[in-house]
Structure 1
């Protein structure tokens, strides 16, 4: 069923499987659903997570073979609690935190990538094709992508990360990988540079032709791939259903979802859930000092002209070019207008919504941003109340404090251990290494961590090469000579 179209070309169509394998849509766009039908979520009050996923995918008409989807969803069996991979923790009468970090990489990217990797491999095998998966990471996508694709048939992975732009734990999760089908490179640049390389290669006909000569096809695991987004819709629905059950509320009670946002994939999943009828009052976008998303949602201006990427305590959000905003624009304003806006961004480094368009956008979103000092203050305050949160979650807590309503869920996107030195600094106002910070916090709080995290410091580094931006394409082609 051709139920996807390009965000920049309404005459181009694809089905879900082809959109997963080939995320490059015509006119340099992204694949997005043509339309989303309403669904009665109240029919799922006691549905388990895997069944909920299958029901929603069926509603979306994704047409995945049942046995393949079942096998992909078995990846949740390796989460801390297979029956509840995205649990809620109550903070107070109006705030719950949804913990999205109970998979192998200890970040929310596992929620989508854990099943996505096996799903992709199975579809590739059905087509009898071998794929190179490109991924660019600001810290969390990389480890989750590498974990999910390790040793899978018909798959090679190239992962690009900004050298010095991730936490030490995140870098070790990538550079200590042992599987022969995984290739990890630091780049001399920031995440926007890494993502720009990925996008340019996906749309580079000559590069793809060179790979095709070797019977290798190109795809991507970033949230430009709608396969990621499809799985990200589910945990927002799950969170809502768990929230009203925990609070003993009737279905239809509206909540705010508060999401620390970088590339906007997490927020996009919530946006689609709201379009499908989930009772979301607003999706609150929590930014760090790289507050371009807050500016956009408050003013309608997406303006890169005077922006320089800042390195903050919440590095997964250190992004200025948020890819998935494009899918929101398409859903609200259509392919022609989206193409105009994105072309203007590419040519002029900014675009501006009309006043009426801004009002439509604000029906779904509101936003604020948090300074680094405020981030540290919130981490310390929660620590003293026996809640360990990472800096990205702290940004979202700040947004809750500024924009709270009666019912709120904060999406916690990473476990504290991935950013332990920042927590240590918040507590003691001094710096230390990841290992020393982790050891201190574990002892001070009498908590434990999975062995795959604590063992990272003893594993050999298998991927040390750092590339200049212009070296990446040639290096990838050399891998397959």
Structure 2
């Protein structure tokens, strides 16, 4: 199977590329992305069979259905990265909270966030492809808090790879920041920028499409790629854990072939929600994908009105910082799948030129077949955290937004995107617990809930800062080139 460009002009023949090409060069013509044009459809009997497999075997079976050009041996090596998770057999842990409510815990990897589920295998594949080709790559990412640590971790000391992470100064939690600025690896560089996540993401996209920047890298024997979910390699692994949750419930007899489920996703850049949508297209009996935003509720407005309007929007800092995003890149892949490359190009150009686009009422009805959206305030979020903490369950501020959209008459799966340890001050404030400092508060909260905190988190507070750089957006390229020259 090949991937195609998401943007095109009238009568333009769509560029088709192999997965390996899209992984190493993720930007498509007209500044677009790459996406599948069609998906393999899994039969009912095969869903039952898949549901009995352990996660690693399930993942390889799903990947095989796509018939991509990357060697199966490399995919096997990539999936083996899950052996570093809390439970190698269950890197994603599906747990029942109460009747009709399950939580899909995706944070049991090395950096305690769902990004590890995709980025751990993704890093192995990119490094493997680079070595096979005898090429060297600069992998870049922009982060609102979770992608950065996961990207740096997966590429630390990887062969044929250098990795740069851009994060917004004062725009992440303290633990997220410490994970990035203390990360060890001679091939890693972390840069804080004076701006928000959208600024970081725009800077990334500008560099990815800059011939001048690519030329400077080429002169130093480096090609350019990205680890954000603009890269389809990330999305591939995000399809798998949604499909696995459905298959497991089917296998356990919790649901039958006629039962549909709803998946609730705390949304920022829309990659997680897109993964659920793609799983649905492959035959998982998912009815609605429920999109939850924080007070940066651009997606709520879009899925309710059909208008994506940035003209009067300013980013609001919330207690769920990984969702503090206004430009959700992966919505583009949804538009492409629903309306085609020409229409997607029109809408994306409107967003670029007018900071706003609007789909028709018929197009909105088409989106509403699969999606509904709402948003959660910080106060509502804190109330949910406190409620579940009293039951002995720690729910982080991103996952907590999802409870607002639970329908007690439907079977719901909440996508839990991060462990609470990354957001201790918010957890303590929500539960009215006093503390002297974040480290002391972290251990205090863990004791109350009788939870263990991994050494990877507790050791951060005493680790040396290896990446102190903070710069203006205009200085990013200069900082990167300066580092590469060393």
TM-score range, shorter chain: over 0.9
Q: Are residues 192 and 430 of structure 1, via their aligned partners in 2, closer, same or farther at CA, if it must alter by over 3 Å?
A: farther
Partner of 1:176: 182
Contact 1:330 1:338 in 2 (8 A): yes
Q: 1:178 offset after TM fit, Å? A: 1.6
Matched position secondary structure for 2:340: helix
Match for residue 11 of structure 1 among 14, 38, 45:
14
Partner of 1:24: 27
Q: 1:163 offset after TM fit, Å? A: 0.9
Partner of 2:225: 219
Match for residue 302 of structure 1 among 302, 308, 331:
308
Contact 1:132 1:157 in 2 (8 A): yes
User: Equivalents in 2 of 1:330, 1:145: separation in Å?
Assistant: 27
Partner of 1:205: 211
User: Equivalents in 1 of 2:292, 2:237: separation in Å?
Assistant: 21
Q: 1:404 offset after TM fit, Å? A: 4.8
Partner of 1:65: 71
Matched position secondary structure for 2:413: strand
Contact 1:256 1:405 in 2 (8 A): no
Q: 1:213 offset after TM fit, Å? A: 1.1
Match for residue 289 of structure 2 among 283, 288, 312:
283
User: Equivalents in 2 of 1:334, 1:436: separation in Å?
Assistant: 53
What TM-score results when the alignment is normalised by the length of structure 2? 0.96
2:93 paired with 1:90: no
Match for residue 423 of structure 1 among 420, 427, 431:
427
**1:273-295 deviations in whole A, cap 9, x for unaligned?**
11111100100001100000011
RMSD: 1.3
**1:164-194 deviations in whole A, cap 9, x for unaligned?**
1101110111111121000001100000000
Match for residue 190 of structure 1 among 181, 196, 210:
196
- Equivalent runs, 1:367-446 vs 2, <5 Å: 367-400=373-406, 403-428=407-432, 433-446=437-450
Partner of 2:362: 356
User: Equivalents in 2 of 1:99, 1:70: separation in Å?
Assistant: 23
Matched position secondary structure for 1:277: coil
User: Equivalents in 1 of 2:340, 2:128: separation in Å?
Assistant: 33
Partner of 1:34: 37
**1:274-322 deviations in whole A, cap 9, x for unaligned?**
1111100100001100000011111111011111100001000000000
Match for residue 327 of structure 1 among 330, 333, 338:
333
2:245 paired with 1:243: no
User: Equivalents in 1 of 2:405, 2:102: separation in Å?
Assistant: 14
Matched position secondary structure for 2:255: coil
Matched position secondary structure for 1:424: helix
Partner of 2:145: 139
Q: 1:429 offset after TM fit, Å? A: 6.9
Q: 1:432 offset after TM fit, Å? A: 5.8
Greater mean deviation of Cα atoms: 74-83 or 8-17: 8-17
Contact 2:41 2:283 in 1 (8 A): yes
Match for residue 166 of structure 1 among 172, 186, 189:
172
Q: 1:271 offset after TM fit, Å? A: 0.8
Q: 1:100 offset after TM fit, Å? A: 0.3
Q: 1:431 offset after TM fit, Å? A: 7.5
**1:332-387 deviations in whole A, cap 9, x for unaligned?**
00000000000000000111110110011011101111011000000000000111
Partner of 1:52: 58
- Equivalent runs, 1:449-460 vs 2, <5 Å: 449-460=453-464
Greater mean deviation of Cα atoms: 430-439 or 265-274: 430-439
Contact 2:394 2:449 in 1 (8 A): no
Match for residue 272 of structure 1 among 275, 278, 285:
278
2:128 paired with 1:125: no
Contact 1:129 1:216 in 2 (8 A): yes
Match for residue 479 of structure 1 among 468, 480, 483:
483
User: Equivalents in 2 of 1:332, 1:273: separation in Å?
Assistant: 15
Matched position secondary structure for 2:328: coil
What TM-score results when the alignment is normalised by the length of structure 1? 0.97
User: What residue ranges of structure 1 are gaps of 5+ in the alignment?
Assistant: none
Q: Are residues 405 and 191 of structure 1, via their aligned partners in 2, closer, same or farther at CA, if it must alter by over 3 Å?
A: farther
Contact 1:284 1:367 in 2 (8 A): yes
Matched position secondary structure for 1:480: helix
User: Equivalents in 1 of 2:186, 2:124: separation in Å?
Assistant: 17
User: Equivalents in 2 of 1:74, 1:390: separation in Å?
Assistant: 27
Partner of 2:474: 470
Matched position secondary structure for 1:173: helix
User: Equivalents in 2 of 1:75, 1:289: separation in Å?
Assistant: 35
Contact 1:370 1:399 in 2 (8 A): no
